[in-house]
Amino acid sequence: MGKAANVAFFVPHLGCAHACSFCDQRSIAGQAAPPSPADVAGTLARVREQMGSRSRDAEVAFFGGSFTAIPRRQMLALLEAVAPFLGADGFSGIRVSTRPDAVDDDVLALLRAHGVTSIELGAQSMDDAVLCRNGRGHTARQVRDAALRVGRAGFSLGLQMMTGLPGDGPAGARRTARELAALHPDTVRIYPALVLRGTRMAAWWADGTYEPQPLDDAVLLCAALFDYFTRRGIRVLRMGLHAEPSLEQNLLAGPWHPAFGELCESRVYYTRARRALARAPGADCLLAPRGETGKVAGQHRRNLLALEARVDRRLHIREDPGLPPLAVRAVKCL
């Protein structure tokens, strides 16, 4: 999974006029108040000094609420606080997340003029019935239109989707993935729906009208989506929410795991290792990309044990620095 080096600031609920069924930004971000321009400048000064030249590969990110829908003066103040830290000796650009119905051409021009280089749109689903049921307040067509505008304006396009939403299922998630891929994003994020205290989804779960995905089912589905996007050259930045104490304190149900993304990647490696062994009868060694042997083996070596049971022989895993990410070869050990 691609790793994005971001210095992230969360603007919980700012600019969002909707209360989606799943949303509690305070739990997700671990804070109730948005950062001030002074907070942003102070943090960036400190982080840039710590990172040194590595800051050139990092972005400043505003996540959480709908950044382009917050009061214009506040948005400009935050962007202007970042400006002194961009450029040859600073960060590479600014990444923002927002709603698909909050990116008109005027806003895009303003973002471009203030150093924004990447825009992520919270699509969540491309099924209008699912979007309506979960209170998103926008349509699939608005996602498509916004993605086209962002791309035409020269920004790096990111799209975010969720699995396990009320009214959705694995087939719907796969349709959403196909429609998002057709928009040619540079990056995607995949989030399984979690039941957080104080949300409408929590009420539905409490009264029995909503059942979240089991962890194993979510891993299987998100692994398949990850594989789908990756094969098409679309970088998956993240699977699963970032671990925050406030998130875990407010989590009621759902497929939560602090290493959810690694579980999904490991599942992809298992599938590819199984296929590699099927193509190489008698092979007893799996070759993995540099640094990926643990993911091939799986947590607690579960992948390796399952593969050994499948072929009825002991297997070894070795690194092959020449292999690209997610590739696995099966060979005879020398």
**Assigned fold of 6-258:** TIM Barrel (3.20.20)
5-9, 184-188, 209-213, 306-310: the lowest-pLDDT one: 5-9
Residue 29: the pLDDT is: 47
Q: Which of 10-14, 98-102, 239-243 has the highest mean pLDDT?
A: 98-102
pTM over 0.85: yes
pLDDT (tens digit per residue) in 151-193: 999 999 999 999 999 999 999 999 999 999 999 999 999 999 9
Q: Strand, coil or helix: what is 145? A: helix
57's CB contacts (< 8 A; 6+ apart) are: 5, 92
Amino acid at position 9, single letter: F
11-25, 42-56, 112-126, 175-189: the lowest-pLDDT one: 11-25
- State percent of the chain over pLDDT 90: 80
How would you label 156-166 residue by residue, b for 16+ Cβ within 10 Å and e otherwise? bbbbbbbbbbb
* Band of residue 4 on the pLDDT scale cut at 50, 70, 90: very low
Where exactly does CATH 3.20.20.70 map onto the chain? 6-258
